[in-house]
Amino acid sequence: MSSIYDDPDATEEQLFAELPEPLNISPSTILNEYENINVLAPLVRCSKLPFRHLVSLYETHITYTPMILAEEFSRAQIARISDFSTSSNERGVFWLNPSSGSSSTTTSRKGKEVIRVSHPNDLQKYNLSHDRNDDDEQQQQQQQHITYHQSHYGNGTRRPFQPTKPNKQSELVKGKLIAQFASPNSKSLVDAAELVSPYVDGIDLNCGCPQRWAYNEGIGCALLRKPELIKDMVKSVKDRMGHNWSVSIKIRIDPDLKNTDTLIRNALQAGISYLTIHGRTRHQPSTDPVNLDGIKFAVETVGGQVPCIGNGDIWTYDDVKEMREKSGVKGVMAARGLLANPALFSNYSITPSHAISQFISISNSYGLIFPLFHRHLSYMLENNFTTRNEKVWFNSLSSSTAAIDWLENRGLDWKSIRGSQWDGRRGRGILSNT
């Protein structure tokens, strides 16, 4: 029996209409069973909804929120409003190739699909309902104060960069969103995890923030030499949310790798879903080169029990390949490199003009405050300024309108492609949602 994919006259719209439902599987399953997984780091103030949505258009499969303080998030509605927002279509949809070591099939992976039973989309899709007691009512009231955009950008349906498989092995997979928390104790982390759980695909415990204030508060790098506390925190979240719910940790390597070994073994005993390793110690500045051997040591300590992600000094796609080859990680996480070039994982050497156009459209749609809007554009345009005076002039602009006018005067026609979904690898619009 022939299909529409065999029709040479079929339009892209017709082909997109026949796409299968993307697999909605756990982050650890994606990391374990697919090749070349790319990740956006939890950037301070910067990896908020508009930027996460932007990079998801350019082969970034897993995105992180900025680090959120669990104590504040769990006890204050104003913190939930300011620290977290999401939308019904911020996650990307990608054609991924199963890894060579994967023995699972598409059918078996469907059995691992994740349903977030309190998520607005899933309740509607699966016709789910559940009885609520007083505690449930209180939680529902608290969750109402999380900013959730229903189909706020585009038409609400995310699509891959092309309607047909790039090769016979490719499978359609939905991207993942991870909330990263910093906490000095188990209770705050568990409460925060439960509150955010309907809207994300897992949480990550920050064990790597090197800032002095964080260390003094008992969070971030302060946890690196408290393996028993990390073990208790991870286990407590798993006990509350269920063993299959994704809980990961992000660490830095220790100058004494015996401490890294002890930390990892405790985390594995607690049941972490995956591990992210930043290849510097607490006291090393970002100007120091990343220690790929240190990341490799952590990966070997894990011994394949869970997948690992490597982080540090990812500025080009060659850096991505080097990280995979030399450390043995399943995924690669970029931070400052993605700020400078949101299309980095799509193998662009500098930020393409259509990524800037997309960012303007997305930011206008969701509503991004000017200081962050301006900061992101400054990062993206760094390699486009021809003189120092031009850079100084742009950085002195005081409104989003002024920044957009500046770009339009230099030939950026962002309105003509508003709402388009771009193929980051080919650089052309394939889907108009105007």
Q: Look at residues 14, 17, 22 and name the one whose alpha carbon lies nearest to residue 94.
A: 22
Beta bridge partners of 203: 179, 247
317/343 Cα distance (integer angstroms): 10
Do the beta carbons of residue 351 and residue 380 sit within 8 Å?
A: yes
314/332 Cα distance (integer angstroms): 8
143/105 Cα distance (integer angstroms): 36
The whole-angstrom distance between residue 110's C-alpha and the CA centroid of its chain comes to: 22
**At residue 331, what are phi and psi to the nearest 5 degrees?**
-130, 160
DSSP state of 91: S
Using only C-alpha atoms, what is the Rg of the chain?
21
**Which amino acid, residue 120?**
P
DSSP state of 21: P
113/272 Cα distance (integer angstroms): 19
Q: Look at residues 276, 261, 268, 207 and name the one whose alpha carbon lies nearest to residue 238.
A: 268
50/382 Cα distance (integer angstroms): 20
Beta bridge partners of 95: 172
Per this entry, what is the length of the chain?
A: 434
Provide the 10 A C-beta neighbour count for residue 413.
10
Beta bridge partners of 248: 204
Residue of 46, 209, 221, 308 marked catalytic: 209
209 is catalytic: yes
Active site residues: 209
